[in-house]
Structure 1
């Protein structure tokens, strides 16, 4: 802070772009905790910068954050290899404006973030900066330490890889709410046929317990197998089961509880009025962002 309670220019610039920087780091890392650490490192470097030499503060801050996130992404990759069971991104309770921004909601959806997990760290950074945030190739090159021509090739390769695997169709919020409500009712009543009515034939169920809570060890594919796994799991639940519709990562989700305590978050991917993906995060370490909304932005 400067005199008379005014912020110094470095702090003011950092806070003005903080939500953007967090979104960049989170999309690269899939972990809010690691994104926050990347932002802390960005801040420590930013306060040592001579602002008089910076022509574009936003671009400069994004560049620092990208480098810090890239360093963490390589470490995180090794950590994921030792992870117990299936790994899912850390879910974020998001503000209503995130769901209304179709581009942003898709970019932070569990389904797309899982696709991005199949990219190399550099490919993921380039894809996020170019395809999500529309940053020019020269600036991306400065952020990832590659030549602009190389960055173009990486961007093309990453885009082709993601496009082959990303969800095919975006449904309207009202359609999504109707599907999720039908799914929620079927869960509450353990209605096998009700589940089959809303699940796509190729639906995939992935659960993340992180070794802290029991979860299915491998993804389950197919409506009948997924429906029976859900009904069977509910039958073994010890306590009173509850479900509540919410919005996580800008997309439909359910907060699932046992005896009044949050048991996990189930993100729902919907295409053609059917559920194609269920992503159930039970690891308590990844449920810390369910108490308050996290602001995300592409700008």
Structure 2
């Protein structure tokens, strides 16, 4: 951001007061914290070039600019994601207690919701995010996307219907998910196949984003037995080289519970570096129904010891 000169403080303050909101919108639209940060920076550059005296509502103006930039980026990203080797999953975003301020806001940034929103068209996703996560009016959204209010209502209805059809009706509370995630992590690291099978629902589905890495399942894996065996064997294979390299220091593969995307997740590290983030969905019986593993190293810079500088200022944005 450029240095502030006399006459600029109000404009800078207007932007800074909206920064978290802008990042929150961009991240939900794109599913990438890295891209969202780029969008917020571009929004600042555009804000810095306008005649602020002619902007009646800075917040509305900034949301409009940010949303349109994110929409353009999403349309471009959609094509790249379709050509992605293996399964594309959202970039994990470190979060914290702030997400507890509103269950609806926290759910809109959950891994489960972000994955479901990947099935929406770019325009449906933008409308859904602005309406459901940030409670913008249909008139406000119409101004942002350049469509009629009637068209926006139709887009919102279609998006909401698609999301409801794909999201589990039951959502476990945070503490239950944390306890299940802790047991799941212990079973994975201990190679305890029996304990894993006791935790997994019969119809459990596992998705791995490994950026086309060798030996990584490129399609979803279904069924408790297949998923449990893959987790035990796959984790050993991933950690063995890192453990050997770390040998003399004793800094071998380990795991911990972290907060990402508004809930608990398992962070696997080896040699002090993040190897994977694992997020699970839990049903009413406390069984794991969905597992998402993000092992693409390009998406792990924001978690664990490798957290990129400057990311912390955006953490509250995920919760709004």
SS at 2:317 equivalent: coil
Q: Deviations over 1:163-190 (max 9, x none)?
A: 1111322222221221112112211221
Instruction: Could you tell me which runs of 5 or more consecutive residues in structure 1 were left unpaired when the two chains were aligned.
Output: none
**Retained in 1: the 8 A contact 2:266–2:278?**
yes
1:184 to 1:71, Cα distance in 2 relative to 1, 3 A: same
Paired with 1:78 and 1:38, the residues of 2 have a C-alpha distance of: 18
What is residue 267 of structure 2 aligned with on the other side? 255
Structure 2 equivalent of residue 206 of structure 1: 207
Structure 2 residue matching 1:296: 3-state secondary structure: helix
Contact 1:252 1:269 (8 Å CA) reproduced = no
Aligned equivalents of 2:274 and 2:283: distance in 1? 27
Which piece of structure 1 moves more, 58-67 or 289-298?
A: 289-298
| Cα distance in structure 2, aligned partners of 1:295 and 1:194 | 35
C-alpha distance in 2, partners of 1:41/1:258?
Answer: 35
| Residue 16 of structure 2: aligned partner | 15
The question of 1:65 aligning with 2:77 is answered no
Structure 1 227/100 Cα, relative in aligned 2: closer, same or farther at 3 Å? farther
Alignment partners' CA distance in 2, 1:74 and 1:160: 22
Cα RMSD (Å) of the superposition? Answer: 1.8
Matching residue of 1:30: 31
**1:246 corresponds to which of 258, 263, 287:** 258
**TM-fit CA distance, 1:61:** 1.1
Q: 1:80 is matched with which residue?
A: 81
Partners of 2:316 and 2:270 lie apart in 1 by 28
- Would you say the 8 A contact 1:20–1:298 is kept in 2? no
Query: Partner residue of 1:288?
Result: 301
Query: Greater shift after overlay, 154-163 or 187-196?
Result: 187-196
**Across the two proteins, how many residue pairs are aligned to each other?**
297
Whether contact under 8 Å (1:251, 1:268) holds in the other structure is no
Shift of 1:120: 0.6
Partner of residue 94, structure 1: 95
Secondary structure of 2:60's partner?
helix
Please list, as runs of the form range in 1=range in 2, the aligned pairs for 1:186-201 lying within 5 A after superposition.
186-201=187-202
> How far has the Cα of 1:157 moved from its partner?
0.5
Q: How big is each residue's C-alpha offset from its partner over 1:137-175, in whole Å with a ceiling of 9 and x where there is no partner?
A: 111111111111000001001100001111322222221
Structure 1 residue 66 displacement after superposition: 0.5
| 1:183 alignment counterpart | 184
TM-score (norm 2): 0.87
Q: Unpaired segments of 5 or more residues in structure 2?
A: 244-251
2:40 equivalent in structure 1: 39
Alpha-carbon offset, residue 235 of structure 1: 3.7
Distance 1:220 1:133 in 2: 34
Give yes or no for contact 1:215–1:282 (8 Å, CA) kept in 2.
Answer: no
State the TM-score, normalized to the length of structure 1.
0.93
Q: CA deviation at 1:111?
A: 1.0
